[in-house]
Every structure is written in C-alpha cells, then in structure tokens.
A and B are shown apart, each in its own frame.
Chain A
Amino acid sequence: MIVAIDWLRSFVDIEESSEELAELLSNLGLEAEVSEIPNNIPGVIIGYVEETEKHPNADKLQICKISDGKNIYQIICGAPNIKAGQKIALATVGSKLPGDFIIKKANIRGEESYGMVCSESELGLSDDHEGILVLPKELKVGENFVVAYGYKFLSLEIDVTPNRPDAFSYIGVARDIACYKNSKLKQVKVHKSESSDIMSVKISMESIEDCPRYIAGIVDGIEIRESPKWIKERLNASGVRSINNVVDISNYVMLEIGHPTHIFDFKSLKNKEIKIRRAELNEPFKTLDGTSYKLKKENLIITDGQLPIALAGIMGGSNSSVKKETTTVLVESAYFNPISIRKSSKVLSLSTDASKRFERGADPNICEKAFWRIINLLHQFANGNLVSNMIDQYPKKIKRKKVTLRSSQIKSILGCTIKRSKIENILKGLDIAVIKNNKGWDCKVPTFRPDIEREIDLIEEIARVHGYNSIPVDNSISGNYRFTNHDPESNYDAIRRYCSGLGFQQIYSNSLQNFDTSSKSGLNPVKMMNPLNQDMGYLRTELLTGLIRATAFNIKHGADSFKLFELSNVHEQVGEALTDIIESKHLACIVYGKNQPENVHSNVFLEDFFTLKGVLESVFVNKFSMKLEFVHSNYPMLQNSYSILLNKQMVGYIGHISNTLTKNLKVNLESFHGFYVNLEPIKNMLNQKKIFKKIILFPESQRDLNLVISKTQNTDQIVNLIKRKGRKIVKSVVPVNIFTDPISLGENYKSVTFSIKFQHKEKTLEDKDVNPIINEIINVAEKEFSAKLRV
C-alpha cells in the first residue's frame, strides 16, 4: 500500500521526516520504505510561462520565455502541452533531478536553452512522461517546487502483512501512528442525508454465509466528469490512476477508510433488483476491464436478478459499469466472507485492490459509513442526490469479539512488566474497549481487526506498540536442558571432510530438473503439479546429472581438470500413488582431466576408475571399515559400469560417464568418470564406534613374490589366496608391479609382484616361519590359478 504523507496528515499530526516516519511504522509492524520520490530536488522551482514561439529550426520544439518572478529564462521545450500562462516546474541550470541528472545550459538547434520544463517522470513523481506537469495556478512563482507542491507526492510504501486488513487504509495506518504517539486520530465524518423513497431496489442473498451484509442506494442526477484536482493528486500519490469522478470517489473511499465499494450504472440493470448468489458452472461473465470468464461454482456474483453484473468483492462487470452517459447509479457497500472471496479470486487468478481487502477481512460494520461517505462525495463532486433509502440487508449482526486479557500473561510472554495505564492507553488507541477486572481486562475488539481473537493476539498488539526494542533482552537462556549431542548430519559431515581432503570440491546443484534429465537414470521422477517452467518440472532421481552440468560449465569457463562431489537428497516415484515417494541421501563424485597439474616432479596422467575407487576405499573402507566390492553391471548413465557393494549391499554404480550424456559437451570421455552411492542402506553403519587395536611390538618381515599368471586373472583372487594361506601372520598383500613381455612371458601372461608383509603377535619371525607359508602359497597358486613362480 502506497501512503502519501500529505494525505495521511488529514488523519493524524505528523512532525517526522519521511525517513523517521518509515522507521516508526516499521517498528509498529507496518514495514515501510520511503518511495523513490525525492524529498528535495535542488534547483527546481515554480515557473511561469510568459510566452512560447515555434523554434525556427525544429517543428516540434518551442522557444519559451519562463519567469521565476525575477528573471526571464529562454528555454527550449519539446512538450506539446506547454502554453503561455501555465505554472510549471522549472529546472534551472545546475538543478539535480532524480537519477543524478544535472541540468546544464544547452544549445538546441541554434537556440540557447537555460534549463528544462519538467514532466512528472523527470521529477520522479510518476511514470508519466507525456508532456510537462502543469501546476495549479495559485502556486507562487519562484518557490521551491517540493516545498510548494511536490510534498504532496512524498509517500511511503508499506508492506502490509496478511493479518492486517485494517492497515490497507489511511485511517488504519493513522490509527497505529496516533496510538503509538498517544495523539488524536481525526476520524472521517459523514452525514446521513434525508432518506427518500422515489426509487428502490430489492436485495436478496442466496447465503448469508457468503454475503453477511449488503447495503445499496440509488443516486440520481450524476454528472460524469474529471475529478477535482486534489482527489486526482491524492489518488495519483497513492499509486491509483484517476478515471472519472464517480470511479475515483469509490477508490478514494477505499483508500481512505479501507472499505471497497462498487458503483453500478443503474440503468444497465435489466431488473431493478440485486441478488447475490454463486455462479453456475461455465456461466459467462465479462469484467469491466474487458476480460471474458467462464465462471465456476466458487465464484460469488452480484446479479440483477438474472445476469451477473459483478464478481462480488473482486470486480464489476462491463455490462453495468459507469459510462460517460451514466446519470443514475447504484452504490454498493457490502461485506463478503473472506474465504468465499479468496476462493473466487483464486479460481480465476484474478486479484484486485478490492479482493485483497475482502479476503483478508473487511469490516462488516463500516459498510454504513462507507456508504454515506460515497453518497456525500457523489453529492459534492458529481452532483448526485440519493433518491432511495439506504437499503441495508444485515440479517445477523457481526459483533465485537470479547477477549479476556490477564496482566500475568503479558508479563509471562513478554518477560517484562508494562504499566497498567500504558496497556490501557495502547488498547484504547487501537479502538479496543477495555473494562478492568480482577486479573486484567475484559476487552471488546473492533470488527476491523479480525486478526485479534485471543489473549495472545492482544499481547502482540501491546508488544508491538510498546516497541519490541523496549522489551529487555534476557541473556540467561535459563530453563531445563537435556544433554544430547545427537546430530544426524554429523556422519555426512565426515564424508564431506574426507572428500574435500581428497581434493574434491563440493557443489550444490538444482533439485529441480526437466523430465528428460531426471529420467536418465531409468528411475521414475517425482512430478510437480505447478512447475516454474518446463526445465524444472521434476525432482532429480540422482546426482550425477548435476555434476555433469557443473563439469560442462567449468570446461566452458576454461577449467581442464577437477574433481567434484555432491551430497544431497534425491527422490523417486516408486508406486502408482502420489505418496509412494522415496527420499534418499546420495553421495556422488566425478573426476575429470589430469590427476595433477603439469609439474617438474612427477608424471601427470589422466584420471580414471582407480581415482574414484581410491575415494570409495578412503572413505568407506579406511574410515568406516566397510567391505568394498564391484560387480560388473549395466547402469544407463555409465559405460563399463560396476555396481558398488558395501558390506554386501548394492549401494550405487561407478564407471565412465556415458557419452550419451555428454554428446553436447566438449568433454574428453577417456578421463570422465563418476560414481554415486546411496547412503540410506549403510546409514547406520556410518556410526560405528572405533575400538583401539593393540599395536604389535614385534617387527614386520617383508617378502616379494613374483607370480606369472594369465593376463585375464584378477589379482584380488591371488591376494585373497595369500591371505587365506597366511596362517594369520600375513599382515598385508599388495600387488606392487605388473610386467608383461610377450617374448619372455608369452602373449597371454603377466608377471605380478606381490609385496607381502608378515607379522606375528608374539614373536619375531624367522625364515623358518615364513618360508613354508611362501612355498604353500606357490603350490596352491600353481594348482588353482596355473601360476608359476618367476625367478
């Protein structure tokens, strides 16, 4: 809501600057910002157009003689609406306009120009740049523009929270200010003109649930014309466009006292009656902005007994709108159910200034005042006279809510004591009636505050007006405290640390993907009903696609080697039912490019499968003591892929990133590898307690064993054999060298050197302990794997 400070002064005294007022309102819970319109436009003064003549060298330009009361300036102006005799805003040479635009002396097509005649947009008053701003005649020439006129446009933009429908009006904002400053609120006064029964209209409601109150009256003799300048200025300063006197009056009253009303062209009504009902399915209706709708059951409509003439509380119809020829109008001042209006507005995706106020909760008991205010203004500014009674259908009066407030509870919630007199002042300032009782107060809450229903709501009101910053800080953090140090994320923290220690960079990528990407894994992605766009219509089923995207991004920006990981949730739609969704925490890593930058110390090679296997070993085998195995398999996102088994559980896949995923990326596939691990099945195993194993004090003994085996033979089977035959004294077996030579070994063989470490818990090992084991290993290896000892 845009609040013009000058208009606000009609309701409450304001001594504060715009900035101070914005801060004051923010501290009251009406978050306010000073809008762009400047407080001060140095150098801009009120000027008088003495004469204009056509520029000799330009058709559209005029040479103007403009007076500031002392001197006459020659100014070249291109605005079509400039005329002699006007008062205008003159930006003299040296003026600084909004946007730090400084006015200089100029020569325009051979004629000197000493300044500029300003439009509204150049002054920052509005977006209107069609022609110059013509000022009221009574302004004094030579005066500072802002002081003389621009102040009317100084305004605040207030972000009204959904609980405060009352703050959608000048009187509501003023009430908060008056309450805070303990000053007087100047109410809008109306006078009820004498009723007449020349004309009448029948009002009926289908449901008093939807429409608890409807007031109507008929005004005749209307003359449609422009609104008086001050109404136009006030609307304009509040961000509302002026249409004509009748429409403007309705808008003016809505801003002033917060109640939306509607004015119908009475002669357009086929039947002289008003019936409020729900729309039929697909009932056609054209709103006054020219849009055609097919209505739904949710839409509450005003009809003339048959056809809809307005969407109740949202917008009038084009069939009954006020036109130039209108002479008789029907004034509606009604109260509609907030939920009904909200549903109606949602179902058509049509939100208006009126619907915003009704759906937050208008005041059923201000309808009458709003009606008379409209009638008074129509009389004053549109020549209209009420020719009917005020017809008021209000079958069940909505009363002020009664709420009991205990002073003990105020202290307990806020943690401090506020004086009783201050509390009473605050409540009274908010129009809440208070009667003391032995524990506190019995309060009656005005109907324009539907948000105040309970004691806690009253306490909030007291707190906000008293000032949150006046409530003392309690640093004791007292209370009962159970010591638990449980953090379900802490195991994941460890994984993040290990990965970053291994040179991987953590990324976060978007959980939202398109269908194509999110179904690359072969899993069924979770679909959103209302995606932002096609590219974000599904939840990802795995993390590799995000890493591939980041890879492409970085390659595009010049990176040639990197390692990335992500640790996040993914989702899968597993069953028919929408609720059959599985959420799992995944870890995914990719390696791309060289293992290290080119350097003098060592050879550089391309990253491969074994870099990633190293990560799995470091994290899951070394740190979490799990058993890691691979099984050759087929995963659609990877070429040459293997299932990853941790402690016999299938948890993910590892392999080359498939070239079907990288077709459009400039990626060297040879070095692009990735894996993902679903952490859910192993979550509980990440929490293992570590138990110290005694350090063996007897020395290790190391032997190398060279075995010639078939080229296709996996080394781990030999390693396992050595461990098995090791009689518990083999501490470790590592293949340290692989040698192939067709001539000495034969085409189909390789020689593998196994480095074996022996250690005994209770003695120093000697050759006589180790040799028989080595011999047995050789024998069995010969039998089981046709291995030969290489000498």
Chain B
Amino acid sequence: MINKLKQYQDDFDLLISKVSSLKELAELRSKFLGKKGCVSLMLIEMRSLSDDQKPQAGKHINEFKKNIATLIQEKTQVLEKTSDQTSVRTEGFDTTLPGRGNSPGSIHPISQIMDEVISIFFSLGFRVEEGPEIESDFYNFEALNIPKDHPARDMQDTFYIGEEVLRTHTSPVQIHVMENQKPPLRIIAPGKVFRCDSDISHTPMFHQIEGLMVDENLSFGDLKGVMNSFLYEVFGKQTKTRFRPSFFPFTCPSAEVDIECVMCSGQGCRVCSKTGWLEILGCGMVDPAVFKSVDYDPERWLGFAFGLGIERIAMLKYKINDIRLFYNGDLRFLDQF
C-alpha cells in the first residue's frame, strides 16, 4: 500500500512538472482526485484491508490526497498568473494609435450660459416663462411705461413689422405673465431680442434673460441681494459689484450693475475704458405704472426686475473678443465649448 502510494506520488510529481496549462492541470486533477481517480481507487482498495491496518492506511491516503491537492492549488495559481500575461498580446500592439470613434458635438456657448443662468435662478425659486419674438407695441412699450413719442423710445432702436415690433427686450413677458397670474411671482424670461443696431459690439439679434420678482415686502436691498448672489455664482465669489443709478422706464429706482473688470481685475484697461468696471446688467424696482397696467395694486405689491445680455456674459466669462463669432457657425470656435 505504502509503496503504491509512493509510486503514485512519483508519477504525480513527474506529471505535474510537465503540466503547462490550466486545462492539463484539470485533467491531472481528475486523474488523481476525480471520481475514478487514484485516490478513490486507493480508498476502495483500503476496504479490503484488515481493521487494524485501516487507520494507518487511511492516514497515509489522506496525507497523499492533501499533499497533491496543495500542489495542484499552487500550480493553479502559477498557471493563472502566466496565462493572464500570455493572453495579452504584447508584441506589435500600438497603444499610441488614436482611439476609435468620433468626438462629441457641442452645445453652443449661448445655450450653455443661458442654462447656467436659468439654473442659478431656479435655485432661487424662479421659473422660466416665454413669449413671442414678435410683439405688439403695447407689450413691448406701452405697458412697460414707454409711451409713444417719449425720448425713452430712442434707447432701443426698434424693427417694425407693420403695427407690431420685433421685441427689443424680453420684458414684455413680464406683462403677459402678470396679466395672467396673481402675485407673488418669481420668473425669468430668456429669449432672442432684436435691435436695429450693428457694430463691433452690437448685432441686430442677441439674447437676453429678463427676471421679475413680485411680493409683498420686497425692497431695493433684496434686489441687491439677488443680483449679488447671481453675479457671485457666475463670475466667482470674489467678484466686486457696484450699483449705479440709471434710467429704465419700467423700473424706479433703476440701477445699472457693474462688476470689477474681469480682464484687468479693476486696474483699468481697454475693455473697461480704464474705469476698472464693466456694466453687466440693468435692474430696478418695478415702476408703479407697470403694476397699474396689469391691475396689480402698487400699494400692496412691490417687485423688482432685471435684464441681462447673454452674449455679454459669455464674452466676459470666456474672454471672447468679437460678438460675431457667436453667429457664423465657425467650428474652430464651437469646438472649444
């Protein structure tokens, strides 16, 4: 019995040394440890032994079994390792070749800024409202306290389509919303606007976001708070802002908001005309005349409104120097966004 086991051990040692794959190892394993393998045969043979020989034989068989199981386990680990390495092609495999597939497209910077601005105001509880690009004189001007034959009309060069106009701002959306909804309100109105004006920094078509908040206890201080929060979010927490009195017929008091010039950090450069400040948006408390035109009680409701140019923000944020780049579909420009 002992001799037989020794013979098996020698056979196993020889065989396992020749094994070079996991498949061969599996065969070897079944030959020795399988249902019809040597160990099973030995255990069957053991039954014919006398009772006093059995424990001794059993012990030897178990040791043998344990031993070869361990050896197979060790060999398995070795083979697994080498098989991982050999299965990867190493020679002539050029990882420096370009990857497969196309580059993704892009969303236009105007849309991106628009989305960014919208999401900032979303987080302040504002929601989006829209209106048509062609408006009546009433919505674009009259209801916003810009009567006919008022010099304020000169502030916005208007394209006329018969009695209608191409909206010069998205402010008419304010009126549509207030006509149809009761206060309190927090809305923003993004969209295309048109002005009869064209030079290096103006195009006849551009994009605006107009905002309106109406509530019972709103003050100029709240307006400053909301404008600052917005500007810090877009241009960074360290941005300095200043509020200057200005004139818009639909707000009173009206303000223009400047941020410290992003090009020269307020030192004074060509972009900011050496003032160190850049005009970024217009805003103000809603003029009581506007509330009257939509039947809101100006003694009860207070509100503020603001308007900003998307192109202007995109130009300052991305340091784009020519507004026309937005509209000619130049891939060398679009690829960068």
A residues lining the B interface (CB < 8 Å): 22-23, 26-29, 31, 33-34, 161-164, 338-339, 342-343, 346, 359-360, 412-416, 454, 456-457, 459-460, 463-464, 468-469, 471-489, 493, 496-497, 499-512, 526-532, 536, 539, 546-547, 549-551, 553-554, 557, 559, 562-565, 568-569, 571, 578-579, 581, 583, 595-597, 599-602
Contacts and interface: CB of A to CB of B under 8 A. Distances in A.
A758 B275 CA distance: 73
B221 A477 contact: no
B200 interface: no
A29 B242 contact: no
B97 to A, nearest CB: 6
B246 interface: yes
A128 to B, nearest CB: 24
Contact of A485 (B127, B149, B228): B127
Contacts of A457: 252
Interface residues of B, number: 90
A464 B221 contact: no
A482 B111 CA distance: 27
Interface string B114-129: 0100100010110111
A468 B327 contact: no
Interface in B78-129: 97-98, 100-108, 110-111, 115, 118, 122, 124-125, 127-129
Nearest to B205: A511
Given A477-B222, A497-B107, A596 B101 contact: yes
Contact of B159 (A472, A474, A530): A530
Nearest to B255: A468
Interface in B142-171: 149-152, 154-155, 159-164, 166
B220 interface: yes
A472 B326 CA distance: 38
Given A485-B127, A583-B134, A505 B105 contact: yes
Interchain residue pairs A-B with the least CB separation, the first 4: A550-B329, A415-B219, A29-B245, A415-B221
A529 B245 contact: no
A578 B198 CA distance: 26
A562 B101 contact: no
Contacts of A463: 220, 245, 253
A359 B152 CA distance: 11
Interface in B200-234: 203-205, 213, 215-222, 224-226, 228-229
Contact of A459 (B244, B253, B326, B330): B253
A486 B128 contact: yes
A508 B246 contact: no
Interface in B298-314: 302
Contact of A554 (B124, B129, B186, B331): B331
Nearest to A496: B107
Contacts of A22: 275
Contact of B128 (A359, A456, A479, A488): A488
A653 B130 CA distance: 27
B53 interface: no
A31 B243 CA distance: 12
Given A339-B149, A476-B225, A578-B163, A562 B124 contact: no
B133 A473 contact: no
B183 to A, nearest CB: 8
Given A473-B228, A480-B184, A468 B133 contact: no
A27 B273 CA distance: 17
A110 B151 CA distance: 61
B41 interface: no
A33 B242 CA distance: 16
B196 interface: yes
A496 B111 contact: yes
Contact of A508 (B110, B184, B255): B110
Contacts of B266: none
B334 interface: yes
A583 B132 contact: yes
A599 B108 contact: no
A476 B229 CA distance: 11
A164 B288 CA distance: 19
Contact of A479 (B105, B155, B216, B220): B216
Contacts of A468: 220, 224, 242-245, 253, 255
Nearest to B125: A481
17 contacts: A162-B152, A343-B149, A413-B285, A459-B253, A460-B252, A468-B244, A473-B224, A475-B229, A488-B130, A489-B130, A489-B190, A500-B106, A551-B329, A553-B330, A568-B192, A569-B133, A601-B97
Chain B contact residues, majority secondary structure: mixed
Contacts of A472: 221, 224
Contacts of A484: 127
A167 to B, nearest CB: 11
B236 to A, nearest CB: 17
Interface of B: 97-98, 100-108, 110-111, 115, 118, 122, 124-125, 127-130, 132-134, 149-152, 154-155, 159-164, 166, 184, 186, 190, 192, 194, 196-198, 203-205, 213, 215-222, 224-226, 228-229, 242-247, 252-256, 273-275, 285, 287-288, 302, 326-332, 334-335
Contacts, number: 264
A733 to B, nearest CB: 27
Contact of B216 (A33, A480, A529, A539): A480
Given A472-B221, A553-B330, A578-B164, A413 B106 contact: no
Contacts of B132: 583
Contacts of A595: 102
A205 to B, nearest CB: 20
A536 B285 CA distance: 36
B151 A342 contact: yes
A596 B102 contact: yes
A471 B224 contact: yes
A481 B221 contact: no
Contacts of B152: 162-163
Contacts of B216: 479-480
Given A460-B253, A583-B134, 6 more contacts: A496-B111, A506-B105, A557-B331, A581-B134, A581-B161, A596-B101
Contacts of B225: 473-477
Q: Which of B155, B253, B327 has the most CB of A within 10 A?
A: B253
B3 to A, nearest CB: 54
Contacts of B246: 29, 31, 161
A329 B125 CA distance: 67
B227 to A, nearest CB: 9
A549 B330 CA distance: 10
Given A480-B216, A549-B329, A507 B247 contact: no
A539 B218 CA distance: 40
Nearest to B151: A162
A749 B146 CA distance: 73
B139 to A, nearest CB: 13
A506 B205 CA distance: 17
Contacts of B213: 479
Contacts of B194: 511-512
A507 B108 contact: yes
B184 A482 contact: yes
A343 B149 CA distance: 7
A23 B329 CA distance: 40
Nearest to B326: A508
A478 B217 contact: yes
B124 A477 contact: yes
B245 A162 contact: no
B260 to A, nearest CB: 13
Most B-side CB within 10 Å, residue of A31, A493, A507, A557: A507
A25 B293 CA distance: 33
Contacts of B196: 530, 532
Nearest to B229: A475
B289 to A, nearest CB: 8
Contacts of A26: 244
B258 to A, nearest CB: 9
B245 A464 contact: yes
Contacts of B224: 468, 471-474
